[in-house]
Amino acid sequence: MKIAQKYPSLISYSIVILASAVLGAGYWKAVNKAVDKIDVLTTPTEQLSRATKNHYEIIYSQLPESQKDALEKLLVTDNPNLVSDNEWQPLEHAGFVERNFTGKKGIKKELKPLVDRLTKKRKKG
């Protein structure tokens, strides 16, 4: 396990302390670089495997148009409340969307690029 994943706050504090030690006009430039480093260190970069992509592409191709429209609406608005339960439940069962303890959450983060690509491909015809 990477140190950044195990101790993200330690890495963040270290970078901020290092940035604050920089004096003069370069201070804010150093802070911006530090923030960019934090984002890079704490953002998951795992790519979907080819088998997983194929799996979701097949499922997407079998969805009714109303559910594909619902996925597109979710992708554009990022508002799961705009999707009816009749459309949400099959998408959740298929694994495209998720919910947390408060309710509907949206398209799974790791699937957003794939859904975006499939939606664009669908629009092209």
Q: What is the pLDDT of residue 5?
A: 58
Which whole number is the average pLDDT over 68-85?
A: 94
- Reported as a pLDDT band with limits 50, 70 and 90, residue 105 is very high
- Reported as a pLDDT band with limits 50, 70 and 90, residue 77 is very high
Tens digits of residue pLDDT in 29-70: 666 666 555 554 444 435 678 888 999 999 999 999 999 999
Dist. CA 26–CA 67, nearest whole Å: 51
Q: Taking the chain, what is the end-to-end CA distance rounded to the nearest angstrom?
A: 43
Residue 64's nearest CA partner among 37, 23, 94 is 94
Q: For residue 116, what are the contacts with CB-CB under 8 A and spacing of at least 6?
A: 75
Q: Are the CB atoms for 111 and 119 separated by under 8 Å?
A: no
Q: What is the pLDDT of residue 50?
A: 86
- Please indicate, yes or no, whether the overall pTM of this predicted structure exceeds 0.85: no
Phi, psi of 108 (to 5 degrees): -60, 135
Q: Are the CB atoms for 56 and 96 separated by under 8 Å?
A: yes
Q: For residue 47, what are the contacts with CB-CB under 8 A and spacing of at least 6?
A: none
